[in-house]
């Protein structure tokens, strides 16, 4: 299969009125909201840690990370456990919708500004029928410096 016809599998989730996607290979689990234990002196978007099957996992709120107005968590709120570099991190999202195949030729380079999200965080934008999906670059959403700080939570 040529690069042009490659299919990317993505987990689709929602923040406010927008749909986002992350590469399914980086996603380990999708969990319902759990009790989150606060950790002092962390950035506001780091909500704390959860104990996930005996593993302490830091959790960040993507709404706050992207400066999207916050809202109360609902029954639809999910924590997507992703692998970023060699760390597992939970991402709080409004809802996790589905897993879809995206043909690579449907993915365009991100425009300079997409909504309120810095273009560095965006891997691309996919147009599928009437849907516009913002594909995230998780390595940029959490940069190495922040991952080191978050990793100290786990220690």
> How is residue 110 written in tokens?
């991100």
Give the mean model confidence (pLDDT) for residues 77-83: 95
pLDDT tens for each residue of 132-152: 899 998 888 876 566 566 656
Question: To the nearest whole number, what is the mean pLDDT of the chain?
Answer: 85
**pTM of structure:** 0.86
> pLDDT class for 89, splitting at 50, 70, 90?
very high
> How is residue 15 written in tokens?
């923040």
Q: How far is CA 105 from CA 7, 8, 43, 121, 126, in A?
A: 9, 10, 37, 20, 9
- For residue 23, the cross-strand partners are 10
pLDDT tens for each residue of 8-21: 999 999 999 999 99
């Amino acid at each position: 299969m040529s690069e042009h016809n490659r299919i990317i599998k993505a987990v689709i989730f929602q923040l406010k009125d927008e749909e986002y996607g992350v590469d399914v290979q980086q996603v380990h689990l999708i969990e319902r909201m759990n009790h989150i234990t606060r950790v002092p002196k962390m950035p506001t978007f780091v909500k704390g840690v959860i104990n996930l099957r005996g593993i302490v996992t830091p959790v960040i709120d993507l709404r706050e990370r992207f400066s999207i107005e916050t809202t109360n968590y609902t029954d639809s709120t999910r924590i997507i456990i992703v692998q970023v570099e060699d760390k597992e991190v939970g991402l709080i999202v409004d809802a996790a919708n589905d897993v879809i195949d995206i043909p690579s030729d449907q993915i365009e380079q991100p425009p300079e500004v997409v909504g309120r999200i810095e273009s560095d965080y965006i891997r691309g934008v996919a147009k599928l029928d009437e849907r516009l999906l913002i594909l995230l670059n998780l390595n940029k959403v959490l940069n190495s410096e922040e991952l080191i700080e978050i990793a100290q939570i786990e220690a």
